[in-house]
A and B are shown apart, each in its own frame.
Chain A
């Protein structure tokens, strides 16, 4: 439900061996929020997301999550080269669950069709992903992550290396999903303008801590 607590960190600490990433961190994320994670490279944004995803272990403290929520995650790096063989639709399909049941298969086809429409990829569905533009690739990653209808979406620097116009298109799309379907969005970025324009709130990573801040507190200095 909108406004309900979905993720809470209590004195969360992460180390890689001796190296401290963040210590005794406290924050809350609520259902339906559009929140950005900002801070310098190497400050632990991706690491936090991986802990949320269960791909990395926390060192200490607690990370509480509403178990009814599923998460779609668009990771920071992807290895799709020019030669990548699958077209956009087949790439998105990879995340479908296997079924031999003809009824379920038909349902899956409807789901694919809808997600391609939602992400404005219908006309591009037969294009090999390797030949797609940066923005089209990001939309395909987004579509794949949204396939199983998650309540939380995590975007790790999805707008990096995109042209301003394309960035805006992608963010407009994510904003639409956030508003229309009440999707909780966690958006990692180095982009001041996008943070100001689209997000409700931010978690600021610095000096081994994570500080929750409001949009008004977000300053350009945080992006240097």
Chain B
């Protein structure tokens, strides 16, 4: 399958996407932000359509929309319950906007399908480079803020009590989340990018119990999902997103079963 240029590109792009999604996902789960990452992907869809409408790239439109909205969320109240209620109202508005932008633009509907459901064909090497750079930005932010971010994500009250700048950390995290949603959507599509951003992290939680191990397992599951997905999509010509989501969901339930089994033994 590596005989094809587009498969090589897709493979490299997915590898970077999987690493960032697996890494960020551990923190999405520990910060209870699965819901927000779902909404951000819907907002990303609107951003991509907006990008197409005004003639910038869908990726740029997506980054624009997700960044602005995640920073807006970060400066709102920090009570997650209130956050969820107001966010879910906004998210449906954005789906509507996305559909509007697409219908106003002259692009064919296949473009919409690609944004929503992802695609492995048609990624140019220029886009691969963009994705790699963005993924590296996310990874570097994580390395720089690793300790305080882990403290805040796994023990927010403790981190505040120890005097950490939790507000600033929260915004830094939301920026990386926005970037991850935008780059992840390029392969799995905005409809299902939250799967990569939440399920591997949630599965890891059932298997291991330290921050570095959670990251390793989550990144591993994320990589396994996209690699296997790419291979099976290549062989069967079925959509890659189907295989990725099927793999991650199965892994999740196996993890859950393992945890319950362990609790009873």
Contacts and interface: CB of A to CB of B under 8 A. Distances in A.
Interface of A: 53-55, 73-75, 77-79, 83, 85-87, 89-91, 93-98, 126, 128, 141, 144-145
Interface in B131-180: 146-148, 150-151, 154-163
Interface of B: 30, 146-148, 150-151, 154-163, 204-205, 209-211, 214
A86 B161 contact: no
Contact of A79 (B157, B161, B204, B209): B157
Contacts, number: 61
A98 B150 CA distance: 11
A76 to B, nearest CB: 9
Contact of B154 (A89, A91, A145): A91
Nearest to B152: A94
B209 A86 contact: yes
Given A53-B163, A94-B150, A98-B147, A87 B209 contact: yes
Given A77-B157, A85-B30, A98 B210 contact: no
A79 B177 CA distance: 23
Given A75-B161, A85-B214, A144-B158, A96 B209 contact: no
B158 A141 contact: yes
A94 B156 CA distance: 11
B151 A95 contact: yes
Nearest to B209: A87
Contacts of B162: 73, 95
B140 to A, nearest CB: 14
Given A90-B211, A95-B162, A145-B161, 12 more contacts: A54-B163, A85-B30, A85-B154, A85-B209, A87-B210, A90-B209, A90-B210, A91-B154, A94-B159, A98-B146, A144-B155, A144-B158
A77 B161 CA distance: 11
B163 A91 contact: no
A74 B158 CA distance: 8
A86 B69 CA distance: 30
Contacts of B147: 96-98
A73 B161 contact: yes
Nearest to A53: B161
Contacts of A98: 146-148
Contacts of B163: 53-55
A52 to B, nearest CB: 11
9 contacts: A53-B163, A55-B161, A85-B30, A85-B214, A87-B209, A90-B211, A91-B155, A97-B147, A126-B209
Given A78-B158, A94-B154, A83 B205 contact: yes
B124 to A, nearest CB: 37
A190 B151 CA distance: 30
A136 to B, nearest CB: 15
Interface centre among A77, A83, A91, A94 (most CB of B within 10 A): A94
B158 A75 contact: yes
B158 A94 contact: yes
B160 A55 contact: yes
A73 B164 CA distance: 13
Interface centre among A75, A85, A89, A90 (most CB of B within 10 A): A85
A100 to B, nearest CB: 9
Nearest to B29: A85
Interface centre among A77, A87, A95, A97 (most CB of B within 10 A): A95
Contacts of B210: 86-87, 89-90, 93
